[in-house]
Amino acid sequence: MHSPATSAIWLDCTKQTNKQKLNKKYTNKTLPLSGMKKPYKEIIDLSWGDLQRAGVKPLSFVRQVLAACVYPKLLKSHAEGSEAAEGIFVSSGSYTATAGIPEIVHRVAEFITRQDGGIPSHPENIYISAGSQRNIVTILMNRKASPRTGILTPVPCYNIATLSMMAQGATVVPYYLNQEHSWELQIEELHRALESAQRVCNPVALYVINPGNPTGHVQSRKSMQEVIHFVSERSLFLLADEIDVYQDCFNGEKTEFVLMEMGPPLSDTVELASFHSASKGFMGECGLRDGYVELVNLDHTVMKYIYVLFSKDSSAPVLGQFALDLMANPPQPGDPSYPLYNVVRTDIDITTLVLADNAKRAVEVVNNMLGFCCQPVEGGAFAFPQLHLPPKAIEKEMGMKPDTYYCTRLYEESGVLVRPGSEYGQKEGTYHIRFCIATSADIMEELLKRLSIFHTQFMEDFS
């Protein structure tokens, strides 16, 4: 009864004394302990890509509007947010249209259009959903075909994506990101991966994540252009997971923008599914479970099938749709709720700066530790430093992978929850850890302090 993000550690480490205790505490960013002598008072859990769990406060404006949507009467005596709530809807108790509430889908399309510098996004290509990815994977599956449907997938890659593909029966075809070049996606490696796939499955799609999870790499425009040429030449469907925590913070282009910029025939022909989410946007509302997918250049018949596919889920959670609407359509100067929104807007700007600082600071501190090496974190929510473990730590019989062992001991001895690289895939013989940098400066500092003390001791133990 524990979270996916901690499952591997639990599975690997069944004798943890406070496992059950921790399982019960799932919502706090730091978890108080009692009755056990430990060198720390609270657990720091930066194992998830979950902003609010990592200590980022929900935006009061967003919550006020959502509360007003849930129970409009309550807000009659409070002016706060009620006008914005009326601007969206107050009927949150019903199923909505399959692709999402039409007005919201429209506003999301307008939002994308603005983001992409005026290149039009079409509402009919957008589906709001609690689980877009799985549906898309289903589209790709051609069960009658033999050999099986293959999807080129990066290594490392966050495990929910690969799990989802495999659960649908797809064959994951790994392509390795180049760690030495900041985890860059290199086109020669795509060629190699595709070549290797031909023998075992029918590769139909290429999956990219930008910014990288867990790598933190932001793909360059040149690299994206190469990828677009590659999928076009090889007739692959491009699946682009484009979820950035703070869009204003890191520099990155969206695939659709780059594709459109390249003009015909590419912009008219390359099939693209681009995934976004309210969880990882500036609101960090992971609990609402809504995101959207934009589908570009898909055949009319396929689009009809996609409609049917999404229909079977009835519709996405309504409050998450409202949150997406607030993200896509925030109050403008002159709107009654603008001053209230503007306050949280300032909070967002501050947090954005904190995150950029955290990313820099984490890389700097980790690179100063002996046996650690971290590529720059340019985007996303994670740092993914490589661990150069001493041979004794690798050879030791501990019934689990060396980096899982490292994370388990880090948790036991320092109360810090991070995740082992082995969960994301890594080159044979390399080891990593992943931790979330989307937290407060204080918590980031405390994590780095504890990690540093533990790491020095660990390296000594196995020297």
Q: Which spans in 287-368 are helix H?
A: 300-311, 318-328, 338-367
In the DSSP assignment, the letter for residue 76 is: T
How many chain residues bind a second copy (CB under 8 A)?
78
User: Which residues share a beta bridge with 129?
Assistant: 291
Paired tokens of 454:
């533990």
CB of 138 to a second copy, least distance (A): 6
4 sits near a second copy (criterion: CB under 8 A): yes
CB of 49 to a second copy, least distance (A): 9
Q: Please report where in the chains the tokens 């003009």 appear, as a residue.
A: 263
26 sits near a second copy (criterion: CB under 8 A): yes
The angle subtended at Cα 229 by Cα 151 and Cα 138, nearest 5°, is 25
CB of 85 to a second copy, least distance (A): 11
CB of 262 to a second copy, least distance (A): 28
CB of 176 to a second copy, least distance (A): 23
CA distance linking residue 348 with residue 283, whole number of Å: 9
Closer Cβ to a second copy, 124 or 268, answer by number: 124
234 sits near a second copy (criterion: CB under 8 A): no
CB of 232 to a second copy, least distance (A): 29
Closer Cβ to a second copy, 267 or 279, answer by number: 279
Closer Cβ to a second copy, 159 or 267, answer by number: 159
Site map 132..171 versus a second copy, x via CB under 8 A: --x---x--x-x----------------x--xx--xxx--
Closer Cβ to a second copy, 83 or 313, answer by number: 313
CA distance linking residue 233 with residue 96, whole number of Å: 39
- Binding part of the chain for a second copy, among 127-135, 202-210, 215-223, 418-426 by CB under 8 A, reads 127-135
Q: Do 281 and 327 touch, CB atoms closer than 8 A? A: yes
Considering only residues 12, 31, 112, 123, which one is a binding residue for a second copy as defined by CB under 8 A?
A: 123
Closer Cβ to a second copy, 108 or 410, answer by number: 108
Considering only residues 33, 70, 187, 398, which one is a binding residue for a second copy as defined by CB under 8 A?
A: 70
87 sits near a second copy (criterion: CB under 8 A): no
CA distance linking residue 455 with residue 457, whole number of Å: 5
CB atoms within 10 A of CB 114: 12
Considering only residues 320, 379, 415, 421, which one is a binding residue for a second copy as defined by CB under 8 A?
A: 320
CB of 34 to a second copy, least distance (A): 18
Give the SS3 label for residue 394: helix
Closest by CA position to 154, among listed 221, 225, 220, 210: 210
Q: Please report where in the chains the tokens 């601007």 appear, as a residue.
A: 87
Whether the CA torsion 120, 124, 130, 133 is positive or negative: it is: negative
Q: Do 390 and 384 touch, CB atoms closer than 8 A? A: no
- The rounded Cα 193 to chain-centroid distance in angstroms is 24
CB atoms within 10 A of CB 231: 23
Element (H, E) at 238: strand 237-241
Residues in 279-318 at the binding interface with a second copy, rule: CB under 8 A: 279, 284-289, 307-309, 311-318
Residues in 41-60 at the binding interface with a second copy, rule: CB under 8 A: 48, 50-53, 58, 60
Residues in 328-387 at the binding interface with a second copy, rule: CB under 8 A: none
